[in-house]
Amino acid sequence: MTVYFLDSSALVKRYIPEMGTFWIRQLCDPNHQNNLFIARITWVEVLSALARRQREGFITSSNVTQIISIFATHLTQQYRVLEIDRTLADLAGNLVTQYSLRAYDAVQLAAALKLKATLNQAQLPDPVFLTADQRLLAIAQSAGLPCDNPNQHP
């Protein structure tokens, strides 16, 4: 059992077939008993990715409806959702200025770092930060998170 923090670029692969989908689906399989953490904003980002793919003609509106239903179920049953509070927002603000990150990327990274701190206080191993964004991956590594990119697992 491993603790994973999935940003939106990694998590969307569970719902839309692309590079890394098989690997992400394996990690998310409840039989593997991994602890899966996401930030609350992941809901918005995944829905945005679905809408974009629908506009591009990659998926249909009925596909989107079905995926949203599945994702909503997973949200309540399989993911541990990290809420955005003042501490997390302050940390994200610091990350934006320190690393010149996009706002939502900073929130994702801040949530993972806050999770890391919580786990470390309990003397538990660091979470593995999963992202398909190579720039965010490099910044997360420099911030001390173990990382992996689902695109490296075809």
The pLDDT assigned to 119 comes to 97
Query: At residue 77, does pLDDT exceed 80?
Result: yes
Q: How many domains does the chain have?
A: 1
If you average pLDDT over residues 85-109, what whole number do you get? 96
If you average pLDDT over residues 65-94, what whole number do you get? 97
- The enclosing H or E element of 129 equals strand 128-130
pTM over 0.85: yes
- pLDDT cut 70: percent of the chain above it: 100
Query: At residue 109, does pLDDT exceed 90?
Result: yes
What distance lies between CA 144 and its chain's CA centroid? 17
12-64 residue pLDDT tens? 999 999 999 999 999 999 999 999 999 999 999 999 999 999 999 999 999 99
- Per DSSP, helices labelled H in 56-102 are 61-77, 86-99
Please tell me the number of Cα atoms within 13 Å of 48 on its side-chain side.
Answer: 8
Query: At residue 138, does pLDDT exceed 90?
Result: yes
Q: What is the CATH number of the domain that holds 100?
A: 3.40.50.1010
Coil, strand, or helix at residue 61?
Answer: helix
Query: Rounded mean pLDDT of the chain?
Result: 97
Q: Which domain holds residue 9?
A: 3-152
Query: At residue 126, does pLDDT exceed 90?
Result: yes
